[in-house]
Structure 1
Amino acid sequence: MIASGDKSVIVTACPDSGSDDNIISHDFAMSAGFKIQVSDSEPRRFSVANGKVVEAVGQVQAHCAFVTEDKRIPDCIFHVFNTLAVPVIMGMDFLRQTETLTKHTYRLVKELAPAMQSLRVNSVGKPKQSLLCRLNNYVGCARPDTGSDLDLVSRTFANSRGFAIEPAFEQLEFADCSIGYTSGLVRGTFSVGDFSDVRGFLPRGEAIDLEFYVLDSLNSDILLGQDTIDELGIFSSHVQSFIPSLPCLGESDVNIIRHIGKLERSVSEKLKKLKHTILASTPPRRDDDQSQDFETQTKLHEQRENARLEAVRSQPVPVGDAGNDSGAHERGASQIADFDGLRTNYSGHLLSTASLTTGSASVADTTVAATDGAPPMSPYASPTPGCSTPPFVAQPPLDRLSPVRGW
């Protein structure tokens, strides 16, 4: 809770260990009814993570308190930015005084960012302390920034240490809502420790493999984001690894960096990977598959044909005089002849389709050559010489129709 004069408001602030000062946005201060004090002296200047210098337009003096606690922290000064990526930033001086990052971490809550919201790099200025660390074989100082969602290194640092820079172009939003882009990615083994004049760097705890995005204009060599800070327990387990740092004269730092659209891109990449996996697991369609489709269609056609022939044969023949019996056979023969015509048309359609799609033989190629100079015959044609019934495409229909036709 922030209270100024007779106005008070509850707000979820961004705890930013990369900033020494408290920052408040102009729009939020006005909506809360706070009085903005404008100094007659030269305005306070701040350097954001990309090196851009921003001037504060005033300040607000207020009391602060945590919602679940009664204790108030008096005389908190908030510098006012015309544009700020978050409503309020609580700097490292406040966080150290209230022991929020060490003894009272229960005050910190995780926020679920909207899908379209960018990730943050909230670093503002150069802090009073830096973290002694080693990245691969190079010992240096890092800036732990709880207001940042990415681990970063400067282009100068990456080049001077001979890191292999991979392409990685990500859009970022900084504390003042300005936009920037990363220019690459480096991978390395990172550890926190102490330094001895005799033994050199002495690591504290296990080393971990990290990916650092390269930001050309980053105002520090190495910047650690929130996830790495939590994983290593920087403020709980490595307090002894902090050493004094030298801030630039006349400037304070404010580091808020948002990695724009991270969730949206993550979902898109996962969908692409899933699509690639499905396509890779699906074998290409070959001519053999098309031939199998043709064979399947033929077998289905034969099954339907057999069923209909069985229905014709199962029709009862009236018992009576020879005339009636002859009429029944004629009706049955007529039905069979009609079906033979339909079957022939369908068989020709299947064969012509196979010829077009698979390059298979035509109908004429389905006949077999007879011996002794006899004309070629279909393998499933009627054995009766001079029979006008078209040839079948399979043996079962021929066998089942033989008793009816007297073959």
Structure 2
Amino acid sequence: LNGVPIASLVDNGAERCHVSLRFAESHKLSPQDGTQHVVQPGNGKTVLSPGIVSIPWQFSGESESYLIDCAIIPGCVRDLVLGANFLRLTQTLTKFKSRITATARGVLRRLHLNLLGGEKQRLWRFLDDVLASALPDTGSDVMLVSEDYARSRGLHVDRNPQHRLELELGDGTVTYTSGVVRHLVWSFGDSGEDVTSDFYVLPGMPADIILSNELLFELDVFSRFDEFLI
């Protein structure tokens, strides 16, 4: 950023790029007039963004530069988050995935769900043999289903208190899962590739299903299964 190295979080669960309030203030970035707006983190509540700032950005070792519009998010624990629209534009999760040098779990100790805004891209396949749409979220450390989805499917939720995970959200607030559904099978259809995983249940989550960064990066989902992304 302006010739200074900075680590960013690659998060396609965030609809747009955003920066922390601390980062904006330290770089003397003022929001554009009339850009104040409300965004929704992973627990379905809302947070007010003071507005949009524009920052120049270059990927390390590359000459092309970009001017990124970023929402200021008070409480955000990461200085800069690259969101879904920008990641698709720059093919960072597919053709140029070598830009990603570490996953969020490798950098942060706490479990995170950085989902912010109304990202609409979904991966359509099967969860326990039922057609379902999942948000493939590189900003989530956990496989998740919403409380409403678990109820609508009649899934058995183990609500033992030991399964209440603490998750830090994109605005820096903390929420807790309400239980876990064991041994659900996410199937990639005709590929013959199935993944069995425990899915934690999160009340208020604005997506039915969230696939974690570990699964997405290990299986190279954005390159290998792009035909299922809508």
- Contact (CA 8 Å) 2:34, 2:51: kept in 1 or not? no
Q: CA deviation at 1:218?
A: 0.9
TM-score scaled by structure 2? 0.91
- Contact (CA 8 Å) 2:32, 2:53: kept in 1 or not? no
In structure 2, what residue type is equivalent to 1:237?
R
1:191 matched residue in structure 2: 187
Distance 1:230 1:124 in 2: 20
SS of residue in 1 equivalent to 2:114: strand
In structure 2, what residue type is equivalent to 1:87?
D
Say which structure is richer in helix.
1
1:225 matched residue in structure 2: 212
Distance 1:208 1:96 in 2: 25
CA RMSD of aligned residues (A): 1.6
Q: CA deviation at 1:98?
A: 1.1
Q: Is residue 12 of structure 2 the alignment partner of residue 20 of structure 1?
A: no
Distance 2:110 2:120 in 1: 28
| 1:125-178 deviations in Å (ceiling 9; x for gaps) | 221311102110221100000011111001111121121111311111101111
Say which structure is richer in strand.
2
Aligned CA distance change for structure 1 residues 205 and 45 (closer, same or farther; 3 Å): farther
Long gaps (5+) in structure 1: 194-202, 244-407
Distance 1:137 1:161 in 2: 12
1:87 matched residue in structure 2: 79
Q: CA deviation at 1:38?
A: 4.1
- Contact (CA 8 Å) 2:168, 2:175: kept in 1 or not? yes
SS of residue in 1 equivalent to 2:206: coil
In structure 1, what residue type is equivalent to 2:164?
F
- Contact (CA 8 Å) 1:131, 1:192: kept in 2 or not? no
Same amino acid, percent of matched pairs: 32
Long gaps (5+) in structure 2: none
SS of residue in 1 equivalent to 2:92: coil
Q: Is residue 37 of structure 2 the alignment partner of residue 44 of structure 1?
A: yes
| 1:182-234 deviations in Å (ceiling 9; x for gaps) | 111112111134xxxxxxxxx43311111110001111100011011123321
SS of residue in 2 equivalent to 1:124: coil
SS of residue in 1 equivalent to 2:196: strand
Distance 1:81 1:94 in 2: 17
Q: CA deviation at 1:80?
A: 0.7
SS of residue in 2 equivalent to 1:129: coil
1:399 matched residue in structure 2: none
2:200 matched residue in structure 1: 213
Q: Is residue 160 of structure 2 the alignment partner of residue 160 of structure 1?
A: no
In structure 1, what residue type is equivalent to 2:209?
I
Distance 1:58 1:9 in 2: 24
Aligned CA distance change for structure 1 residues 34 and 192 (closer, same or farther; 3 Å): farther
Q: CA deviation at 1:77?
A: 0.4
- How many residue pairs get aligned? The number is 224
SS of residue in 2 equivalent to 1:96: helix
2:48 matched residue in structure 1: 55
Distance 1:119 1:9 in 2: 28
Distance 1:204 1:45 in 2: 40
| 1:18-68 deviations in Å (ceiling 9; x for gaps) | 11201000101222x242124236x22211110011121122112210121
Distance 1:37 1:154 in 2: 33
Distance 2:229 2:60 in 1: 30
Distance 2:196 2:68 in 1: 39
- Matched ranges for 1:233-252 at <5 A: 233-243=220-230
Distance 1:67 1:215 in 2: 36
Aligned CA distance change for structure 1 residues 87 and 205 (closer, same or farther; 3 Å): farther
In structure 2, what residue type is equivalent to 1:94?
F
Distance 2:192 2:221 in 1: 11
2:90 matched residue in structure 1: 98
In structure 2, what residue type is equivalent to 1:153?
V
Runs of 4+ deviating beyond 6 Å:
none
User: Which structure has more RCO (C-alpha within 8 Å, separation ≥ 6)?
Assistant: 2
| 1:105-137 deviations in Å (ceiling 9; x for gaps) | 1110126446xx312111112213111021102
1:139 matched residue in structure 2: 131
Distance 2:210 2:31 in 1: 33
- Contact (CA 8 Å) 2:75, 2:173: kept in 1 or not? no
